[in-house]
Structures are given as structure tokens and as C-alpha cells.
Structure 1
Amino acid sequence: MNATTPNEATREAIDALLDKVEEIALENPEAALAELESAPPELAEDPSVVLVRTDLAFAVHGPEAARAVIEPLAQRIPDDPDVCHVYGLVLGELGEQERMVEQFLRVLELDRVIDGGDTVDRETEDRIVAAAEEALASLPDPFRSRIADVAILVEARPSPDIVREGFDPRALGLFEGPCDVDRQNLEPTTAPPRIVLYSANLLADSPDPETLRVEVQTTVLHEVGHYFGLDEHDLEHMGLA
């Protein structure tokens, strides 16, 4: 007799389903979505499955279809930060700014509670700073000299004020201030640009030291790209999205 409890067996079945869907989605997102839609209710209604189904529904059919998938789950478990985050992203795609911000602020607060606050240990913060400096040092000389006075700051996560403006509470970094071209026409007293790295979000996304280093460097280069005038499409094409 198998000693595995029903809950454990269901979890294993969910993991197997998601692994299968991930492989299918690489070549055929529509088939991957159909696989999830035909899953038994005990698997299909699991939050992790619903989140993947939401992503696939968005990719295949657009934001309205994604909303139809995620909204019932958000109503059923309103205090799950992952669900709130995906729901907020979908609402943003639908242009519902006020409701998006409501979900984003909830994510910010729930993440703080789960993480036990906004404190990241000094060793981790030092690793983030070192990885950021390494990324800047890797830039070709003409670019490195033009970004020499751009400050790199580390904060735990975005402030409620910028989240209220629609900023993603789980963003890994932010570029603020005038870009390289704009600075040529500004007064010398204008506040210099800065790149902010969000340590709690980076650590949640990449808990392993090596993956954290790579993620920090990718994030820094992404924000440096904004400084030099690249948009999100350009950065995605360069593998820095």
C-alpha cells in the first residue's frame, strides 16, 4: 500500500502537470492552456495552476481572458500576494489603474509581513552592491565614463508612494532622473540620476548567491539601458528585460 497521503499525492500530480505544461508551452502555448483547462478540478483549482493558466490565457487570448481566470481566485483568496500581484498586472493591462494600485499596495504589505519587515542582512546587501559595481565595471569605456556619477542605491522594496503611481511593488530596480541625452541640456544643479536596487525583491527572486549576483547584474544593465535611452522593447531584444 502506498504510504503517500492524498495531499502529498495531489501535490505531486500538480507538480507533474505544471512540468508537462511548461514543456508544451515552449512550442505551443495554446495546447498548454488546453492541457490545464482539461485537468481534473482538484488540480485545476490549485492556485499555482490557476496562476500559470492566467499567464497562458493572457498569451493566447489577451487580458480579458486572463481576468476571467484570475479574478475568481483573487476573490477566493484575497490575501495571497502572488495572486494579488498577477491580478494587479492583469488589471493594469486592462487600463483599470485604480484597482491595479489597490492590488499592488496589498502585495507590498503582504510581502512585508511574510518577509518580517524590510530588513535585509548586511552581508546580502554587500553582495548586491558588489555585483552592481561589477556590472558597471563591465561596460565599455565610453559608456562607463558617462555613467560614472550615476548613484547606485539599495532599498528593501519600492515605497508606497511610487506604488500608488502604478509602479510594480515587486520590481527589481528603478532608474530615476534625466537620461544621458537629456543631461546635456540641463542646469548643473539638476539632481543627478540614480539607479535603485530593491534588495528584498531581488532576494525573493534569486535566493541563491550566484543567481542573485547574475540577477543584480542583469537588473543594473537594464536600468543603465534606460539611462542611455533604450526602451523596454530594446532591452528585451538584448536579453535584459
Structure 2
Amino acid sequence: MKQVRLHQNAPLETNNTFVLDNYASHHLAKVLRFAQGQNITLFNGDGYDYQANVLSAGKQCEVSILSRSFNSSESSLSLTLAQGVAKGEKMDFLIQKAVELGVSQIVPIFTQHCVVRLKGEKLKKRLQHWRKIIIGACEQSGRSIVPKLLEPLDFDQFIEQDFGRKFVLHHRAQKSLLAFEKTNQATIIIGPEGGLSEFEIQTAIECGAQPLLLGARVLRTETASLAAIANMQMLWGS
């Protein structure tokens, strides 16, 4: 049976009992139908895995935390994805797979070609939804540090902030990743379905971003994002 991993937004200590939150308790007892006496893994974002034994599996599941071990799954590359907000499930998919591939943080950006414009309560609910996707991706992929999800920014706000060494993807760039020196920190800037505008690309370059070419073919935003992350991890991270 696959090892069950659950996130808890609370301090965890060995040799102590702990009551899982309502969502985790429901998932464990009602969805997984987990039996008393079995072991699970908990994590809270501190970089460690906590082995725990299920003492009771009901409306409120209680566990005994047995041990703590360092989780070595994080990449040596600190990678930020600055992603033009895509529509609906496409953005969900992007966030999920970016976390699985090891990004450190995600910055949703509103660009000229964004179809989606979120404000107020709709933005708040969407951010909550994306955070749940990030947690789920960490549980599935074995990560114990939860990537940060920053508040969405307009492109002109984002590009003026210091996010370290930036790379802006567009299909008319001249250099691939192989042409750049290795770095331990990088930010990938990618447009939504309609791509970045010529003005945005030029502005990014003028602000210090390196134009980056992934290949001879024009890629969809979700393909470009994941291909760029995977290539950077392979060359510069893990």
C-alpha cells in the first residue's frame, strides 16, 4: 500500500499525540478508510517528515508521532515561476505540475493578454483553491517544504521587483539554457495563453531578464512552463 502523506499546518513534535485537522481526518477516515494502528507520514513545511501511528480513525483522527526525519527531496535550485494567469483548469494543472517539478515559489501575474481578471472575493477564493492544489501536490510528490504562493501582481508591478536572475521565455530568443552559466537561483517569466506582448518582452529584457529559447517550436503556456522548469532542474538543480 502506498505511504499516506498528509500536511498539517501546525507544530509537530515526536513522542506526542496529535489530532489531525478536519480535512485530514475526513480524508483519512472516510476517503481512504484508514484503519487504526497503521502508520502515516505528516509534514508541516519545516523540511521534515514525521512518522505517526493512527490511534483512532473517526471524525477527529488522533495519531501518535513516533519519529522525525529530514526530507532530502528539495532541489538545490531555488526556482520561481512567474506565470501569466491562465484560464480555469489550465492554471490548476500548471500549479500542480510546477510543484511536483520542484519550484520554490509561484507568482501569478496579470499580463496584457490575460483573459482571466480576478479581484476581491473571487481572487481570495482562487488563491485558497491554488494553495490546496499546492498542498496536494506536495503530499503526492513527497515534498516537505511547501512552495510559496505570492499574491498576484500586474506585470509592471512584478517586473520592477527584485526576484533575482530572471529569464523571459519567447520563441524568437536566440539562446537556450545551455548558453547560460549555472545558477542556484532563477525566475522564469511566462505569459498566459496569448503569450507576453512585445512590449512586455522588451520591458522584461530592459529590466535585466535574459531572453530564453526552449526550442524551434511554439509551445502552449502549460507546455512551455513545465518544459522550462524540467530543463532548469535537470541542468542546475535536481
Query: Could you state the TM-score of these two structures normalised by the residue count of structure 1?
Result: 0.22
Please identify which structure carries the higher strand content. Answer: 2
Higher helix share: 1
TM-score (norm 2): 0.22
